[in-house]
Amino acid sequence: MKKEFYFALFAIAIFLSVFFLINTRGKMDFTSPAFENNGKIPQKYTCDGEGISPPLKISNVPKGTKSLTIIMDDPDAVKPAGKIWDHWVVFNISPLTTEIPERTEPRGIHGKGTSGNLKYKGPCPPDAEHSYYFKLYAVDIVLNLPEGSSKDEVRKAMHEHIIEETQLVGKYERTGLS
């Protein structure tokens, strides 16, 4: 009887340990040491500065992720440009990626932005403050798409395969515009 009691107690302890380990892992996170979520993007990462990509950190990528996708766009561009402006599209990034240093393109396949760019294109709002959405997707497949694929093509290919998504929002407004 004592053996069964201790075995049951041991099994409950293991179950609770696994349960708390899984549930304390948290959701996938996407941050930048250069700016807070919903904070101001420093000028050096924009068209008014060096136009280099900001440093980014990725954590808690979910189990089963085969690739990551980053899409940076500007939905506030609809007013001046008539469409959402795509600044950065990179897919098939290794799920082991935890950091993308400043001025560095992540290893992966680069899609085409609205300006025809295959690399990071910094914020450059023509009219007022805009919000820039850095979206991170954990995908359960490696996308079978070529370099230069559009954001819409990438989104369509990963549509049924997104395990988790998160975003980092930065804001930028140019000074001296009339």
How crowded is the C-beta side of 36, counted as CA atoms within 13 Å? 2
Task: Lowest mean pLDDT of 5-9, 99-103, 122-126, 151-155, name the range.
Answer: 5-9
Residue 156: the pLDDT is 98
Euclidean distance between CA atoms 175 and 144, whole angstroms = 42
**Per-residue pLDDT tens over the stretch 79-93:** 999 999 999 999 999
- Let me know: does 108 contact 137? Beta carbons within 8 Å: no
Taking residues 108-125, what's their average pLDDT? Answer: 97
Greater pLDDT, 8 or 57? 57
Average pLDDT value for the chain: 90
Residue 178: per-residue pLDDT: 52
Task: Report whether pLDDT(58) > 50.
Answer: yes
Distance CA 167, CA 147 (A): 23
pLDDT at position 22 over 80: no
CATH assignment of 27-172, among 1.10.3720.10, 3.30.470.10, 3.90.280.10, 3.90.1010.10? 3.90.280.10
**Res 151 pLDDT > 80:** yes
Whether pLDDT at 23 is above 80: no
Q: What is the pLDDT of residue 108?
A: 98
Tokens representing residue 80 in the block? 């001046």
CA pair distance 97, 48, nearest whole angstrom: 29
Other C-beta atoms closer than 10 Å to the C-beta of 143 total 21
Task: Give the mean pLDDT of 143-169.
Answer: 98
Domain boundaries of the chain, sorted by first residue: 27-172
The model's pTM:
0.84
